[in-house]
Amino acid sequence: MNFSAVRARKSCWSAADLRVESAFLTLSAAPWPMTLPASLLTSPEAGVLTVTMVRSRLVHPSCTAQAPAGVWREVLRRQEQGEPWGTVAVCFTVPGLRRALARLPRLAGIEACELEQEVLAAVTVELAAMPVAEPQAGLWLVRAGDRAAHRLIYATQRARRTATVPLDENVIPIRQLSRGSAEVFAVLERAVNAGVVTKEEAELIAQTRLERQVMAKAAGAVGMSVRAAFRRRAAADQRLAAALAKEQF
């Protein structure tokens, strides 16, 4: 799963959301859908409901206050058997995560993919340690994702306050040049030749800063994970800015 600048109102959940939802919907598809007993929702219905139907009913206003505890207890019990119940558990948190993330401030400088990764990673870690009998499992998982998002935002804001140079394309003293011009790429090429940045880091900067490609695509092109690519690009930004300020190449 992989999480352009964050639009934290309604669109901060993008690539990862689509992949998670796609996997979740597949689990409810024929010929062998994942199901849970309808009785867990204190429903008079007999039989079973697909996991997508259960999730929809959990967030419906008519859902009783007791139902989530029973559903989560059963999902966590089955999760101990392994996948795909871990995926089901994560997907049950998506509606709550969407609501939580919609309240976050807009913050250019955090890629949507990065936010998604941090949130889903936090939910997965919390899920692994969740006691089977925890009645508020869904709430704790959403709060774990929300805390991860806030940590990332805080760290980004703190980096801005303490950084000696801004970590974006304006660190390059060629801001008057048109984006994607030959001269911009020449600067990156000189930086590679001088050992300031690696070839892969220059590619990441060129593709995401100048050509505005999403990080997921750029990371795949240089053989990195999305998370590693974000870290490598940030470090390369700092080295490049420092070298340019000292006119080292």
pLDDT tens by residue, 204-242: 888 887 777 788 788 888 888 887 888 888 888 888 888
- C-alpha 207/C-alpha 169 separation (Å) is 11
- Cα Rg of the chain (Å, integer): 22
CA distances from 162 to 34, 154, 200 (A): 49, 12, 27
Q: To 5 degrees, how large is the angle CA 235–CA 236–CA 237?
A: 90
In this prediction, residue 30 carries a pLDDT of: 67
Q: What is the pTM of this model?
A: 0.57
Percent of the chain with pLDDT over 90: 6
Assess if CATH 1.20.1280 describes domain 169-245.
Answer: no
Q: CATH 1.10.10 region(s) of the chain?
A: 169-245
Checking if the pLDDT of 88 tops 80, the result is yes
Report the distance separating Cα 84 and Cα 82, nearest Å: 6
Task: Give the pLDDT mean for 87-111.
Answer: 79
Q: What is the pLDDT of residue 219?
A: 82
pLDDT tens per residue, range 123-166: 888 998 888 888 889 899 999 988 988 888 887 777 666 654 44
| pLDDT tens profile 14-56 | 445 556 677 777 777 767 888 888 888 866 667 888 888 888 8
